[in-house]
């Protein structure tokens, strides 16, 4: 689907709204809603498309010289960056890499190898907490016509690394948002550390 069709499904489908909010912490917002959380320093335009339970916001930014509008995420704690090159890939990350926040938080400053270590640990926890997540993922892929990617971690890493510098994000008072990559590692998470230590 093209971007316009995806947005129509996102905002018009009751199933999409309910499933995305309940299973994937993504609450679609009307096109008329504007952000009170962030702005782009150079005045670049954007369209807010969703929010999460923590107060973070998702937006499609003006494409500038890019082929399509990339998806930006700004957290309520002052971190921001581009997480996907297109809206379609952004939806894929939200749905199939549901713990993308953790991949960034525990990335050791943006190390792809550390992000990959997060995936099996976070996926295992997700399946324990939400055993029907597979069905929800399949339903959303079908509804939005998404193809299943085999390396969403690479896509996420590349988008944050390569595209975030093109979009300087600041708060209403002009203070600069920090990068999305966290300094924590997998071993910083006590539960994951214990799980890994039992395998040694």
Q: Examine residue 55 and state whether it is found in any structural domain, yes or no.
A: yes
pLDDT, one tens digit per residue, over 167-196 is: 999 998 899 999 999 999 999 999 999 988
pLDDT band at 28, cuts 50/70/90? very high
Q: Examine residue 200 and state whether it is found in any structural domain, yes or no.
A: no
Q: Examine residue 20 and state whether it is found in any structural domain, yes or no.
A: yes
Q: Examine residue 178 and state whether it is found in any structural domain, yes or no.
A: yes
Give mean pLDDT, residues 70-75.
98
Residue 67, CA distances (Å) to 13, 133, 165, 171 in order: 27, 32, 17, 27
Q: Examine residue 145 and state whether it is found in any structural domain, yes or no.
A: yes
Triad 166, 81, 179: Cα angle to 5°: 105
Q: Examine residue 197 and state whether it is found in any structural domain, yes or no.
A: no
Q: Examine residue 195 and state whether it is found in any structural domain, yes or no.
A: no
pLDDT, one tens digit per residue, over 109-167 is: 999 999 999 999 999 999 999 999 999 999 999 999 998 778 999 999 999 999 999 99
pLDDT of residue 15: 97
Q: Examine residue 198 and state whether it is found in any structural domain, yes or no.
A: no
Residue 109 φ/ψ region, left for φ over 0, alpha for ψ in the -120 to 50 degree band, beta for the rest? left
Place of tokens 């702005």: 39
Residue 60 φ/ψ region, left for φ over 0, alpha for ψ in the -120 to 50 degree band, beta for the rest? beta
pLDDT, one tens digit per residue, over 109-121 is: 999 999 999 999 9
pLDDT of residue 199: 66
Distance CA(13)–CA(7), nearest Å, equals 10
Whether 42 has a pLDDT exceeding 70, the answer reads yes
What domain range is 54 assigned to? 3-188
CB under 8 Å to 148, separation ≥6 — which residues? Answer: 92, 96, 141
Domain count within the chain:
1
């Amino acid at each position: 689907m093209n971007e316009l069709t995806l947005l129509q499904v996102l905002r018009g489908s009751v199933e999409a709204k309910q499933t995305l909010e309940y299973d994937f912490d993504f609450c679609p917002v009307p096109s008329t809603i504007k952000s009170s959380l962030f702005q782009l320093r150079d005045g670049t335009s954007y369209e807010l498309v969703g929010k999460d339970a923590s107060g973070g916001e998702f937006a499609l930014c003006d494409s500038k010289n890019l082929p399509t509008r990339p998806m930006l995420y700004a957290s309520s704690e002052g971190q921001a960056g581009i997480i996907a090159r297109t809206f379609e890939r952004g939806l894929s990350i939200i749905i199939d890499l549901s713990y993308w926040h953790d991949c960034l938080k525990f990335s050791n400053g943006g190390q792809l190898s550390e992000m990959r270590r997060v995936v099996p640990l976070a996926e295992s926890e997700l399946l324990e907490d939400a055993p029907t997540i597979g069905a929800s993922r399949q339903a959303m892929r079908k509804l939005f016509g998404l193809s299943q990617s085999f390396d969403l971690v690479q896509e996420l890493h590349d988008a944050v690394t390569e595209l975030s510098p093109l979009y300087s994000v600041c708060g209403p008072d002009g203070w600069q948002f920090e990068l999305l990559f966290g300094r924590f590692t997998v071993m910083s998470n006590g539960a994951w550390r214990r799980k890994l230590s039992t395998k040694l």
